[in-house]
Amino acid sequence: MQDLIRKIRGREARCGVIGLGYVGLPLALEFARAGMRAVGIDVDRRKVDAIRAGRSYVVDVSDGELAEQVRAGRLAATTDFAAIAELDTINICVPTPLRKTKDPDLTYVVAAVNEIAKHLRRGQLVILESTTYPGTTDEVVQPALEASGLRAGVDFGLAFSPERIDPGNPHFNTRNIPKVVGGVTAACTAAARALYEQSVETVVPVSSTRVAEMVKLLENTFRSVNIGLVNEMALMCNALDIDVWEVIEAAKTKPFGFMAFYPGPGLGGHCIPIDPFYLSWKAKMNGFEPRFIELAGHVNEGMPRFVVEKVTDALNGVAKSVRGSRIHCMGVAYKRGVNDLRESPALNVMRLLQAKGAVLSYSDPYIPAIREEGLALDALPARNGYLGGVDCVVILTDHAEFDYLALAGEAPLIVDTRNALQGCKADHIVRL
Ligand SMILES: NC(=O)c1ccc[n+]([C@@H]2O[C@H](COP(=O)([O-])OP(=O)(O)OC[C@H]3O[C@@H](n4cnc5c(N)ncnc54)[C@H](O)[C@@H]3O)[C@@H](O)[C@H]2O)c1
């Protein structure tokens, strides 16, 4: 690995990224910015074409910065896996979804690894970044790569480094979020560390791939469990007629031992609703029954139904039924400021309302259309005066672009699941 480390430090390494989504594209861009030659490989030709044209499809990457690296010849994209043979380092950033049964679906990882195995050569470094259960790197990736006849830690390097990006976060990005790395050997960790040190401010080495895999799952389980706790608090406060938002605001004045989490319509995105179940699956395979993960999942997955109950009660309060009511959803992306609809709880809220006979519409500056199981809708502009004509508005994502004051004055009935109308107390506003 010493030759590779020298090449990396000399910025002569050719760095490959497999999977150019929310994680892979910013990473490839950072490698290019660090002065190395980055090559992105994706099975999606549209993404490859967009990169070649200097067009970004990820919120945190601007067209300008992408085009600059492409023009300078530091960033290229291809659908051809033969490019792997020319690379020195290969980061895998493909999806790791769940099956319907909540079991890990490693299909994409295995497909990517099999392609690498075909072109693997001595001296290369392979790093898995996709979130997955502890043991994936040494139990799944390593044997598949060693089918090439080369040995991990001897002929090629192998490491795991969890991706921690937070899309839409204006303060933290690929460069300034510390990067945890764990290799199958100390030399593999050293090589992975050298690579990230070129483009990431802080690198945190750990003793093994399994520790690195578990770090990410602790972080995401921490979020899932705390969101589950605060969602249950919201349900309790609702039963006790206490304002949960006011409780949280006061609780967070405690300068130690408390961290504010907020209730909402449920969990979304490709991480928090999914990753803890990777851990849960692996724990069960080893005879351990995890309880926090399952309980938090249960509470969080029940939130869309609670929102629908709130909408039903609010309409009932003005002598209307859900059936036939025009219900407008404000914000459907899984969180503020992103164009990501994956696992968004808004979809379940909409499906449930539609099943009860509501006439749905929505607005979201980031999501022009919804074509998901059971839902086919095009976005309406956030403000064009029609909100006065609907029966109820449900705020599901608190995008900064919405004009909440105008909304409060215009809509006859509002169910606010995000406390977006904070401080705005009126009879026609119902909060979670
Ligand atoms: N999105 C996030 O905020 C986030 C944060 C931290 C970690 N992660 C993890 O990072 C991983 C990637 O997530 P993402 O959000 O970037 O996913 P994504 O769906 O945005 O991107 C994945 C890309 O991989 C491509 N792909 C799929 N199979 C491929 C294959 N065999 N070869 C080449 N390309 C292939 C897809 O076409 C897609 O462009 C997941 O494990 C996820 O859990 C995501």
- pLDDT on residue 384: 67
Asked if pLDDT for residue 418 goes beyond 90, the answer is yes
Over residues 18-28, the mean pLDDT reads 96
Per the prediction, the chain carries an average pLDDT of: 96
Band of pLDDT at residue 9, cut at 50, 70 and 90: very high
CA of 295 to the centre of ligand 1 (A): 27
- How many other CB atoms are there within 10 angstroms of residue 71's CB atom? 10
Q: Give me the amino acid identity at 359.
A: V
CA of 92 to the centre of ligand 1 (A): 9
**Pocket probe mutation, ligand 1, options 18, 23, 215, 217, max atoms within 8 Å of Cβ:** 23
Question: Which tens digit of pLDDT belongs to each residue from 156-213?
Answer: 999 999 999 998 899 999 899 999 999 999 999 999 999 999 999 999 999 999 999 9
Catalytic residues: 271
User: For residue 25, how many C-alpha atoms fall within 13 Å in the half-sphere facing its CB?
Assistant: 25
DSSP 139: I
Mind spelling out the 3-state secondary structure of 62-90? CHHHHHHHHHCCCEEEECCHHHHHHCCEE
Question: Which tens digit of pLDDT belongs to each residue from 41-67?
Answer: 999 999 999 999 999 999 889 999 999
CA of 247 to the centre of ligand 1 (A): 37
Least confident of 52-56, 176-180, 302-306, 386-390: 386-390
Ligand 1 atom having least distance to the Cα of 47:
39
Q: Which amino acids bring their CB within 6 angstroms of ligand 1?
A: 18-24, 41-44, 47, 93-96, 108, 111-112, 130-131, 163-165, 167, 270-271
Strand ranges, E, within 175-305: 179-183, 203-205
Bridge partners, residue 159, by sequence = 127, 183
CA of 23 to the centre of ligand 1 (A): 6
Q: What is the DSSP string of 375-387?
A: EEEEPPPS-SSGG
This prediction has a pTM of 0.94
C-alpha distance from residue 323 to each of 60, 329, 376 (Å): 40, 16, 18
Mind spelling out the 3-state secondary structure of 315-367? HHHCCCCCCCCEEEEECCCCCCCCCCCCCCHHHHHHHHHHHCCCEEEEECCCC
Question: Which tens digit of pLDDT belongs to each residue from 317-362?
Answer: 999 999 999 999 999 999 999 999 999 999 999 999 999 999 999 9
d(CA 107, CA 96): 8
- pLDDT on residue 59: 87
**Pocket probe mutation, ligand 1, options 98, 270, 338, max atoms within 8 Å of Cβ:** 270
List CB contacts of 314: < 8 A, sequence separation 6 or more.
392, 413, 415, 430
d(CA 54, CA 70): 7
Place of tokens 């690198």: 203
Contact in structure between 335 and 168 (CB atoms under 8 Å): yes
- pLDDT on residue 321: 98
Place of tokens 């500056």: 365
- pLDDT on residue 386: 82
Q: Whose CA is nearest to atom 18 of ligand 1?
A: 21
Question: Which tens digit of pLDDT belongs to each residue from 79-135?
Answer: 999 999 999 999 999 999 999 898 999 999 999 999 999 999 999 999 999 999 999
Over residues 229-244, the mean pLDDT reads 97
Q: What is the DSSP string of 220-239?
A: HHHHHHHHHHHHHHHHHHHH
